[in-house]
Structure 1
């Protein structure tokens, strides 16, 4: 009897999950496992939680949904807690598994954990098989090796669009053979060291985790409202659910994959229309790919103050008071404050808002950009390690921006994007 473990991480879905499909095809039975890695719930060197309560709640909802979907196919989800390099081998021994299937990691800490798990499994004569499941374009299909990927996005995009193909998404498995798996036993937020924080009623969306909700959101944004056909015109919006796709939270935890979105987008274009807006969603998914490939290329450099450019930047002496005012939305700059209050009370902020508050922290306060990135890591419901640190480095002038320091004139931005003060009034009148 060939038994394998499927180690779920940020790939909490059945559709387009190569890891799961390959495990099923190479095994007589599988045991789906999720490990609450204790290192994801510590306080970082910057003084912020690695996972805040909005994202933790979203994760718990996603795991409930994954377990439900697995059980509908004859399986279920086993929950373990601790360090993966300790806990995964215990499950391997318990079930006499010969292989562990998992998604491939690219960022520094995650890769270290992956290597430690592999080392422990090797001692048990158990193989770790990893698959790239997070990007639109597969790394193997790119027209350059990872070390030769251009450091300017436009160069990467043009060549990739011209010379690379997007693979078809995998279908969800029809059935999964597993031994009997005990009912789902999730830790509470309190056990994770967090308190429940409800999403403020003014939020753009009451985000709920899980693949089922992700697909429902896609169907709403594409087929029910056809909002995708105006995405390019509305994507800089600030108020309401439909100015942008809002797929990011589900993408971050892998409740939905970029290729699944792409396949559905192609169906939409065939049925209704293909225009600049439908293309623009692919363009944004390509940015997401790019930061992931850049993280693979530069690894730990993305977490250093000098970034991938090894560039000295002028940073003021750390000012805890100024940082806290920024966090609490009390800087006195109304556009920055409105955005930071939205983040604090909902775990979300528009892309336009993110660029402005980051520019303010880096260019006006001249604080170390990594404190901003670490606060976002704690606070964002859609935190993705590659996109978050890649974007912050970009705004700080030490990442992939060929123009260097990108300064936002916040008064002009607020006039351009919040002309009638609708957004600022929504968040500052409380």
Structure 2
């Protein structure tokens, strides 16, 4: 058993069914849970808005507080830092003479570059890193085909998966979190600490009630939804129920949600949820298969013949809700103030930008990335690929 392990929280803000965290706790005498706020995530894009909006940043801060409180109830704490994770995690591991760094595996190019940089920094210190795949229903090695043979349509993917689904049961929370005798937890950052002007969301706090889901109420949110009557027509089970937000920052694991859904009686709602969970997985595998192509105008299909306008003035009318379409305008204003939209409204506003205004669809995806509380690279960019006609079917 190792003396000490640094656990790096990323998009897995949970204790329940966190294989990486539980393994770290069971494999060491002491554990150092860490969350790093990376300033690069809050910088302005070339289009003028932040990569992560002030509203979404504030939401993350609140969720990290929630996680910290859960860890404290287990006897532990959460070390909070601001900076580049690849440097900070390595420094903490060195300072505390850790044997390992444990964390979850990401698949987007930027996140994997950070993993690679951290691994290199740790090798210089003779410290190993272990990354756990926890963000899909099954591990990549358990798919009934190699990633290079990923079906070109979700329908084909779902057909292959339905006969090959063997989802492991959810794991329990760690019984106890044991930290070193001396450590510095650090201060929770404010928006100002992240170089964000709090006034960017001041008007929101006066008008929008705080009804967000958090790591603490995630199980209740899921349970209450599963207990409700059937969904209305046009309802997207994962997004419109709020479950997509539970999954995006890892308040719940996909396999926990899967087994909770599976325990309900056979119904259309159950089938829709299982379908949406499979579709989420498909977007993840698409990102793993095609990598950076999903973020380019030509998309995963490499359709170079299609050209979009890069007219920033027209794009600004879409962002600010000043187009000729009043319904789209209302949707965009809601996105800015609430950080969330029903699936049908996401589709409508995306189609309007890409197919009516003919504006570069990647700009729209970047704006959704900035604002959506349930943002996931694979899902958000995958759906925009489909809207633009350059994605998987």
CA 313–372 in structure 1, closer or farther in 2 if over 3 Å, else same: farther
Does residue 257 of structure 1 match 2:253?
Answer: yes
Q: What pairs up with 1:18-29 in 2 under 5 angstroms? A: 18-29=19-30
CA 321–309 in structure 1, closer or farther in 2 if over 3 Å, else same: same
Does residue 155 of structure 1 match 2:147?
Answer: no
Q: What pairs up with 1:347-362 in 2 under 5 angstroms? A: 347-362=339-354
Could you tell me how far 1:48 is from its partner in structure 2? 2.6
Aligned to 2:68: 67
Q: TM-score, normalised by structure 2?
A: 0.93
Are the counterparts in 1 of residues 386 and 392 from structure 2 also a CA contact under 8 Å? yes
- SS of the residue corresponding to residue 102 of structure 2 reads strand
Are the counterparts in 2 of residues 2 and 27 from structure 1 also a CA contact under 8 Å? yes
Are the counterparts in 1 of residues 294 and 300 from structure 2 also a CA contact under 8 Å? yes
Are the counterparts in 1 of residues 213 and 221 from structure 2 also a CA contact under 8 Å? no
- SS of the residue corresponding to residue 30 of structure 1 reads strand
CA 137–115 in structure 1, closer or farther in 2 if over 3 Å, else same: same
Cα distance in structure 1, aligned partners of 2:345 and 2:207: 16
Does residue 16 of structure 1 match 2:17?
Answer: yes
Could you tell me how far 1:266 is from its partner in structure 2? 2.8
Which of 180, 189, 192 is the matching residue for 1:190? 192
Q: What pairs up with 1:341-380 in 2 under 5 angstroms? A: 341-380=333-372
Cα distance in structure 2, aligned partners of 1:109 and 1:172: 30
CA 230–89 in structure 1, closer or farther in 2 if over 3 Å, else same: same
Could you tell me how far 1:165 is from its partner in structure 2? 1.2
Cα distance in structure 2, aligned partners of 1:190 and 1:304: 32
Uncovered stretches (5+) of structure 1, i.e. residues with no partner: 402-430
Does residue 324 of structure 1 match 2:316?
Answer: yes
Structure 1 range deviating more: 258-267 or 116-125: 258-267
CA 72–333 in structure 1, closer or farther in 2 if over 3 Å, else same: same
Could you tell me how far 1:363 is from its partner in structure 2? 0.8
Q: What pairs up with 1:107-256 in 2 under 5 angstroms? A: 107-180=108-181, 181-183=183-185, 185-196=187-198, 197=201, 199=204, 206-208=210-212, 210-222=214-226, 226-227=227-228, 229-231=229-231, 233=233, 235=235, 244-256=240-252
CA 244–286 in structure 1, closer or farther in 2 if over 3 Å, else same: same
Structure 1 range deviating more: 41-50 or 329-338: 41-50
Cα distance in structure 2, aligned partners of 1:391 and 1:173: 36
Could you tell me how far 1:183 is from its partner in structure 2? 4.9
Cα distance in structure 2, aligned partners of 1:279 and 1:209: 23
Q: What pairs up with 1:74-85 in 2 under 5 angstroms? A: 74-85=75-86
Could you tell me how far 1:47 is from its partner in structure 2? 3.1
Aligned to 1:404: none
Are the counterparts in 1 of residues 258 and 277 from structure 2 also a CA contact under 8 Å? no
Which deviations, in whole Å up to 9, do the C-alpha atoms of 1:286-322 show, x marking residues without a partner?
Answer: 1111111111111111111111111025434421221
Structure 1 range deviating more: 4-13 or 276-285: 276-285
Which deviations, in whole Å up to 9, do the C-alpha atoms of 1:189-228 show, x marking residues without a partner?
Answer: 111122442657886x834353112222123222xxx22x
Could you tell me how far 1:354 is from its partner in structure 2? 0.8
Aligned to 2:41: 40
Cα distance in structure 1, aligned partners of 2:236 and 2:205: 21
- SS of the residue corresponding to residue 374 of structure 2 reads coil
Are the counterparts in 2 of residues 233 and 277 from structure 1 also a CA contact under 8 Å? no
Cα distance in structure 2, aligned partners of 1:233 and 1:213: 27
Cα distance in structure 2, aligned partners of 1:348 and 1:216: 20
- SS of the residue corresponding to residue 231 of structure 2 reads helix
- SS of the residue corresponding to residue 32 of structure 1 reads strand
What is the number of equivalent residue pairs in this alignment?
Answer: 388
Aligned to 1:416: none
Aligned to 1:98: 99
Cα distance in structure 1, aligned partners of 2:165 and 2:236: 29
- SS of the residue corresponding to residue 357 of structure 1 reads helix
Structure 1 range deviating more: 207-216 or 353-362: 207-216
CA 48–243 in structure 1, closer or farther in 2 if over 3 Å, else same: closer
Which deviations, in whole Å up to 9, do the C-alpha atoms of 1:315-356 show, x marking residues without a partner?
Answer: 344212211111111112122112111111111111101111
Cα distance in structure 1, aligned partners of 2:214 and 2:76: 17
